[in-house]
Structure 1
Amino acid sequence: MNVHDLNAARSVTLVTMSIGPQMLAIPATQLREIIDPLPMTRVPGAGAFAPWVLNVRGTVVPLADLRIPLGITDPGPDDRPEDARRFMVIEVEIDGDKATMAITADMVHEVVTIPLTRIEPVPATMHWPADYLRGLFKGSDGFVLLPDLSAIFSAMAQRPSAA
């Protein structure tokens, strides 16, 4: 979903999740499925952002960690259940091409539909990287960030891999 799609709609349906202590939400239209963690294969020379691949129903899918581009270093609450971690398989546009990727989530919460008027710009004084965020909104448990997955994945694809 791009900005023009969001502007044409009056509301957006989002899937909320936690990564560390941070609540995030992605458009439900980008989500293909939520799966329990699968065996991961490390890719030699891959960067820290997407160092693994998964076998999702016979398809090799890169697994990315949004902690890297969003600068999330805090592991989050100690009382989070160990088995709450999930992989979210998404469709994302990377430099104009559609790609299937997976992202890690410490916990997936709920599906919410909010009016676009609730989405606010990210304040310039915040530590979050504004280039990677579409905005934020006030959820029931605090602020929820809306990552711009296309911007994140496009930027990360341009970075050189680790040697």
Structure 2
Amino acid sequence: MESTHTNVSIEAVKGGITQQPDVEAIVNAANAELTTGGGVAGAIHHAAGPELYKECQDFAPIRPGEAVITRAYKLPNKYVIHCLGPMYERKKNYEDLLANCYKNALKLAEENKIKSIAFPAISTGVFGYPMEEATEVAVKTILGEVSKLKHLEKIKFVLFTQADLEIYQRKLEELY
């Protein structure tokens, strides 16, 4: 599914975040120390090679909602934007911290004149954020920021499972 909002195309696809050669930057669902870890962070570090870890050491640690940018090394992209999403706890509201991940990633993309970016579902893996809630935050935040973008032309949500893709597609249809 692909839609255009102002001059920015927004799409959701099924796939792996490290196999997105059609975007300049991919977003890493990072841990605070910007180390390999599991899930998205592990896949990105593994595909990029050890140089990524070395560059990340200059920026660590980061706090929830923060984002930093590095080169992508062996990945088919130019940049990796690392965001630390919040750990989900049922009785606390982390919507703002999760939204800040997306806002700060877009801000870095704009500052670096990046034309295309791919996001994974930040905080939904081992950080435990429920997919429905995280998707709502991601899509609302992106749609709220898109009119301010001057350089970005393409925003892509890359989902690992068909079920997650369907949630994103439904939210995009609802909120557009």
Normalised-by-shorter TM-score class: under 0.3
Greater strand proportion: 1
Greater helix proportion: 2
Structure with bigger gyration radius? 1
TM-score with structure 2 setting the length? 0.23
